[in-house]
Each structure stands twice: as C-alpha cells, then as structure tokens.
Amino acid sequence: TYDRDLVDDLGYVADAEACQVFISLVTDRQARILDAGCGTGLVGRRLKQAGYTNIHGNDYSAKMLDEACATEAYQSLEQHDLTLPVATDAPYDAAISVGVFALSAPSAEHLVNITRSLKPGGIAIVTVNGKAWREVDWESKLADIDQNHPDARLLDIKSIDYLTAEGIDGRLLTLERTR
C-alpha cells in the first residue's frame, strides 16, 4: 500500500514534477539512466511510459527493490546506500533521484555520489523535500558542494509541488557532471 498511501493520501507529486523536467532535458530515449533511490519504481514506470529503455535503479531497501522489479521498467536493480559512491563500470548518461533527499541521510554532501556516477556533461535531476530544504538550510550546503566538488555544478533550483495534501513543497535541483 506504500504507493497508494503516498500518492492518494499524502498527495505525492514530486515524481511527476521531476519526470517532466527530466524528459525535457534528456531527449535520448536510449540514454543510460540511473534512478537513484528508486523505491517502488514510481519514476521508472513514468520514464518507461515516456519511451526510455535503459533505466537502472538502486535503493537502500531490498523490499522496495522487489516492488520496483515488478514494474518491469528497469534493466537492472541493486541495493545501495546513497551515502556511499555509486559503483559503476559504465557511467550513466543521466540520473534522477526523487523522494530520497529529506531531513536525514542521505544529505546534501551526498549529491556528489550521484553526479560522479555520470559521464561528463551528464545531467542529474534531484528533488529535496521542502520542509528539509528550510530546516537543514540546503541552500548554504549546496554552495559548499559547488566550492568543494569541481566535477559537479548546480545548474538550477526550481520550486515544485511535493506532498500537496500535507502542504509541503519541494525543490528540484538540476546538476551537471562537469568532468
């Protein structure tokens, strides 16, 4: 009932907001994509419906990965803690991470674990829960990332709807792997 509770009861729309931006920026439907923190596969399903064919997911929870597997949207799935670097033999063309970054770990300093999994020039779309954005002061933490990680660049921050039934907004970050 996780998806039903999240979407129907809490008004979760961050996945739709993020996928809309992702689709506008990543036009190659054969791009190798990482769904970082894929959960039950809400984003993977949306991307598959939009015609993407090379989606790979990771998540901390084995039970969530079982649900994501059932969507048949993913070429591969693996258990992974996003506070650690993403191991990959072949870098991804793009990444998306929706609903992962909030009040606890992973946090702002772990964004580079996603961008480092990309090819140079690769784009990552990441959502941040709006309540966490304010309480943790994500804006100042992002400035530290720009200064301390020259291989990652923040391109845009956009306000989005997140949990509409709870009155919680969010932020959508667009990042680029620079080298």
Q: Residue 12: its pLDDT value, please?
A: 86
Q: What is the pLDDT of residue 88?
A: 80
pLDDT at 37: 96
**pLDDT by residue (tens digit) across 66-80?**
999 999 999 999 999
pLDDT tens profile 125-173:
999 999 999 998 888 888 877 777 888 999 999 999 999 988 999 999 9
Mean pLDDT of the chain, nearest integer: 92
Average pLDDT over residues 57-66: 96
Cβ neighbours around 133 below 10 Å, total: 23
Q: Residues 38-52: what's their mean pLDDT?
A: 97
What integer pLDDT is reported at residue 5 of this predicted model?
65
pLDDT attached to residue 62? 96
- pLDDT digits 0-9 by tens, 84-135: 999 888 899 999 999 999 888 898 889 999 999 999 999 999 999 999 999 9
- Residues 54, 75 contacting (CB under 8 angstroms): yes
Q: What pLDDT, on the 0 to 100 scale, is given for residue 36?
A: 98
Q: At a CB cut-off of 8 Å and minimum separation 6, what does 64 contact?
A: 2, 38, 39, 40
Determine the pLDDT at residue 102: 87
- pLDDT, residue 148, reads 79
Residue 122 near residue 92, CB atoms below 8 Å: yes
Q: 């996780």: which residue's tokens?
A: 2
User: Beta 118-129 vs 168-177: how paired, if at all?
Assistant: antiparallel
pLDDT at 154: 92
